[in-house]
Structure 1
Amino acid sequence: MVETLPDPSASDPERIKQELMAEAERELARRAAEESRKKSRPPADSDAETVLSGETLRVGGTSVYRVMHPASPVSAMVASALLAALAMVAGSGIGLALGFAPTAEDAYSSVGAMHDSAAGAALRSIHYQGANVLVYLSVVYVMHLIWSGFFRRPGHWIWWRALALCLLVLLFGATGQLLPMDQNAVHGTHIRLGYLAEVPVAGEALRSALLGGDEIGTATVARFYALHAIVLPALGLVLLRRFWRDARQAQASRASLLAHGLVIGLTVLLVLFLGSVSPAPLGLSGDLGEPFEDARPEWYALPLYQLLKWLPAGVMQLLGLVVLPLGAAAFLMVLPWLERVSAEPARLRWPLRLLSVAVLALCVGLGVWPLIEDVRANEGQGAGLFARHDVEHLMEALKRRNDALGHSRHEGLPDDAHRHARDIWQLAQQLREPLRRVPADERAKYPERPILVDYNLQPDGRLDDVRARRWREWVDAMEAGARRLYAANSDADQRKAREEIRKACVNCHDSYDVNDPVNPEPRRVVFVTRTVEVKPEIKPEVKPEALLFFDEAKFKGLKAAEVPGKTSTLMKRMKTCCVELLQHAELLKADKPPTRSIEQAFLDLQACSAPLPVIHDQFKKTFPYPGWKQACDDTDLALRELLKARRGDDFKARILKLGRACDTCHELNEEVDFRFSDLFK
């Protein structure tokens, strides 16, 4: 362009006008050149929302533009949500660390103390659900970078920092799961360390370094706590510094400050809502010596858990445990070398999008599958998070805790009595929950696995209000004793609280068909000899049927209770029915009144004796068949004669005949120490 110069011979006004026109032409030319340069610039990739400078680099003959952070509203919003979740997890973690005792003996108690307080429970729930939200947001952030194509160079450092954030969050979860030291934490960590030992070359060394001994103990808790509270947070601070820089660049997008504040507020509300709806769980105290089949990993590890269940042990399981995760991590790491940001259309945009969606769908399917299996496990009783334990399971757990506390009132309590007290407290709360009416189809479907409510139902399936009220009273008494033992400081208070727990257990066992010893000091059953004074006056004539011990009219409408499937429980019920019949006849005096009527006790006794001839196969080695069959025949005959018994000595003679039939069978096996005749001593 030839620039027009002003005419020097022109007058001043004319010359000034020419200068202004020349300046305007230069400005218009500059703007036209700028617009032309913008139009000729190669556009940014449609799948990589990048901020491109005007400078280009020549790399291998390809024009590559300098790339900063993807300045998109999605990146900015996810970064703000991640920082908010990180702040909540870090803040609640500091509060929990102030009250945590990193030893195997006190870790569970310290977490339990925090769990029982309102502030501690809130901190645990925020920390627990904040970590879950953090895992979710980390995955969303990585998926967004894949979807937008920002894994490519020269944006690879942002991509690698996102992968490092995901790895760090998973390590936080793996090291933090052991710290509560409950059953799921101890057994789950034991299983994971076993898998770690199977890794070739360095697996056993890593397991020994983390375990710090032959089994999970104080050294293990201390090392996991150091990793969770010191090492990983230090690495997180280094990563957070770079991530904060990336987030500030992302906030240069079109998103307003109000939008960022709204996202942060929604993240905080989400964590608080999840914490209130699903608080941080705390099960029974961890003990590897106690079987625990309900150990499950965290929700984000369920896909790998299900995959390992399907793969056969050996090489295939090793491939799924080591090769598959490491291969996926290596593939994600080398993605920046597969493609660059350039003027050419992205080659891997749609293949990676489809692959990421397929992998996500596969992980969701593998994660949901074990949940469905747990719901249907154990004939509908459930497992894992959905386990509904019956009364036998809960009572076995109670028995182990009571045995650990000691039986005799002269025996001292163990040092970890407070831990067992808290377990009894939790078990008492579980025992109270199933007091409800069970549908008839559910009772018929699982006859061999009685639900707790079966112990509080009448034979027709209706809820027995009297039994339910007594049950609640005993459970409340046991829970109150456990609370006192948990808070007791002196030895005298601990002994007193233990006696309260023992008394509640004894009262319950006396009223139900349970005769397991709770207290080694036997309860006395006194035989009462009644002396009837004969009066000289003439008694009115009484019809013979009025002297019968059993009222035939009262049998109408009654139905025998369901016969237990377990032989030992069946024998205990027969014994209880006999004792209650003796109580009704005023031949025995016990601490608690009978819970059955006379006719109901006889029906239950008769129903329990019916399957005796067919269960001999369980006792072939200890009971000879001829003696067993003879005892069963004598029992059946004695029951039929007992039904016709009259009040007084006739009933006593007939029930003693029934007792002799029982003792004849018991004498065939030295391991059976109960004798019917002992009731009258």
Structure 2
Amino acid sequence: MGGWLEERTGLPSALRRWCERPIPGGARWSYSLGAALLALLLVQVTTCIALSLSYSPSADTAHSSVQFIMEEAFLGQFIRSLHYHGTNFTVTFLILTAVRLVIARAYRKPREIQWLVAFALGMLVLATAITGYVLPWDQYGYWGTQVRTSIMGSGPVVGPRLKTFVLGGNELGNLTLTRFYTAHALLLPALFAVLLPVYFRLAARHGVPTPKGGAEPVVPYWPFQAARDNSFALLVLAALFGVALLFPARLGEVADPQVTYPARPEWYFLWLFQTLKYFKGPLEVVGTVVIPHAVAVVVALLPFLDRGESWSGLGRRAVLGILALIVCGWASLSALALWEDLKSGHFAELALWEATPDEGWDVEGCYKEKCAKCHGRDGAGYLDSTPDFTLPEYWKGARSDVRLIKAILKGIPNENIPEDERMPAFEKELTPGQAKAMVVWKLRPFGEASEKE
């Protein structure tokens, strides 16, 4: 069989050459980062195909199709959790692999083209990750995409046109969803599939770069490095599966253009979100275009900045300085963004958005005991300061469950309202889930019943 395949494809000999390729300096665990990244990408492709079987890329059906996947499809919740958390794992190992390659000077002659191909592959991975967040068509994905496309549209000359093309118009809608789905599931993976064999061919041609300590000892890839690659990849996959089981991916409320969600970019782009705070008005383009593109260009051109042979030369020191600046800047700005959100109560508000109604709680009993004396049995309200929940108009516009949950938990300390008529705070008596249950199962039905009449 091997001879038959060799004669027709040459695959057995190609595989043999790959397994026998020399590893200068011996097998190392740091080399296994790439193997883990490849394993994670395979998981992403597999779960993407599985999710696509039940997903419907339409503004009317996307959210319900994801809900069907999570609640009714076989292993749907687990598969979506794998795909969701797999994105974060993939980006993490992409960053770690890139840092390792820079430290190892894997961009130097004759590997310039290999480095540029690897850079393009990394950009495709990030683009694929970004285009996937809007697909569930929930509040997080919708408003997060609003933020990202607004950044895109701030660029000079081509920015607004590029934003219009990506959105399929001036606002997010059906065309936006189908374009992002096409990019996420078809176009970007296809480009990745074209470039990946090119990268492997160049990697096989140039081999592993000689480490700083020298080429000795030299061992073959199989079984020395292969054992480490497989072991480490399995360990990373086990961690991913564990996270997917322990922390299932959640689905937020269906996208609503009238209800603003406090969106933030993904953790790996928090630095850009923080940077934009320092560039306002006409300087905004510096934060949205100049800085991120300058970083990308510098990383892509590393082979042409460090052309010396010495490990202690000026070019080498310059590259390490650039790497340290990028990593420290990214980490510092990301940490600062998290710290400011923590101080502002952003995470506490997110907890309200993610609250699920407490199904075992006595909503009717609580309403009769704590709410009916002011809001009435029918929700119309007895006082001038209380809202009329029976009016359909009350539930239109920018009214959101979170706004009411906040009012229930925090109260409404409005000094213009008589003290005995002010909404008290119930955060010591009720949980966010119980407040959400009150809104969903008691207050909203008042307006729905009135609208039917």
Same fold, judged at TM 0.5 (above): yes
CA distances 1:502-528 after superposition (whole Å, capped 9, x unpaired): xx5xx64332235447858999xxxxx
2: CA distance, partners of 1:252 / 1:316: 54
Aligned to 2:14: none
CA distances 1:617-658 after superposition (whole Å, capped 9, x unpaired): xxxxxxxxxxxxxxxxxxxxxxxxxxxxxxxxxxxxxxxxxx
Larger RCO: Structure 1 or Structure 2 (Cα < 8 Å, ≥ 6 residues apart)? 2
CA distances 1:45-66 after superposition (whole Å, capped 9, x unpaired): xxxxxxxxxxxxxxxxxxxxxx
1:199 touches 1:322 (CA, 8 Å); kept in 2?
yes
Match of 2:192 among 236, 256, 265: 236
1:183 touches 1:283 (CA, 8 Å); kept in 2?
yes
Aligned CA distance change for structure 1 residues 98 and 519 (closer, same or farther; 3 Å): farther
1: CA distance, partners of 2:421 / 2:380: 22
Aligned to 1:274: 243
> Superposition pairs for residues 40-119 of structure 1, below 5 Å?
73=28, 76-117=31-72, 119=75
Aligned to 1:486: none
Aligned to 2:361: 472
1:511 paired with 2:440, answer: no
Deviation at 1:317?
2.0
1:513 touches 1:573 (CA, 8 Å); kept in 2?
no
1:299 paired with 2:270, answer: no
Aligned to 1:318: 285
Which secondary structure does the structure 1 equivalent of 2:60 belong to? coil
Which secondary structure does the structure 2 equivalent of 1:512 belong to? helix
Aligned to 1:155: 111
Deviation at 1:97?
0.7
Aligned CA distance change for structure 1 residues 77 and 224 (closer, same or farther; 3 Å): same
Task: Please give the TM-score of this superposition, normalised by the length of structure 1.
Answer: 0.48
Aligned to 2:86: 130
2: CA distance, partners of 1:173 / 1:237: 16
2: CA distance, partners of 1:70 / 1:341: 21
1:81 touches 1:137 (CA, 8 Å); kept in 2?
yes
Aligned to 1:218: 174
Instruction: Identify the structure with the greater helix proportion.
Output: 2
Which secondary structure does the structure 2 equivalent of 1:285 belong to? coil
Q: Aligned partner of 1:473: which letter? A: D
1: CA distance, partners of 2:226 / 2:52: 34
Aligned to 2:436: none
1:353 paired with 2:302, answer: no
> Superposition pairs for residues 640-659 of structure 1, below 5 Å?
none
Q: Aligned partner of 1:565: which letter? A: P
Deviation at 1:189?
0.7
Deviation at 1:572?
7.4
CA distances 1:549-585 after superposition (whole Å, capped 9, x unpaired): xxxxxxxxxxxxx9962438943779xxxxxxxxxxx
1: CA distance, partners of 2:89 / 2:298: 25
Aligned to 1:571: 421
2: CA distance, partners of 1:267 / 1:247: 23
Which secondary structure does the structure 2 equivalent of 1:296 belong to? coil
Which secondary structure does the structure 2 equivalent of 1:428 belong to? coil
1: CA distance, partners of 2:198 / 2:28: 19
1: CA distance, partners of 2:423 / 2:153: 49
2: CA distance, partners of 1:172 / 1:568: 54
Q: Aligned partner of 2:273: which letter? A: Y
CA distances 1:161-208 after superposition (whole Å, capped 9, x unpaired): 221122011101111011011111111111221221111111111111
> Superposition pairs for residues 453-602 of structure 1, below 5 Å?
472-474=361-363, 504=364, 508-514=366-372, 515-516=374-375, 565-566=413-414, 567=417, 570-571=420-421
Query: For the aligned residues, what is the CA RMSD?
Result: 3.3
1: CA distance, partners of 2:26 / 2:201: 13
Aligned to 2:96: 140
CA distances 1:274-330 after superposition (whole Å, capped 9, x unpaired): 2234332321111110132x2111110101111112x13123221111011111122
2: CA distance, partners of 1:510 / 1:520: 11
2: CA distance, partners of 1:252 / 1:82: 21
2: CA distance, partners of 1:325 / 1:110: 35
Aligned CA distance change for structure 1 residues 279 and 223 (closer, same or farther; 3 Å): same
Deviation at 1:362?
2.0
1: CA distance, partners of 2:281 / 2:198: 42
1:77 touches 1:263 (CA, 8 Å); kept in 2?
yes
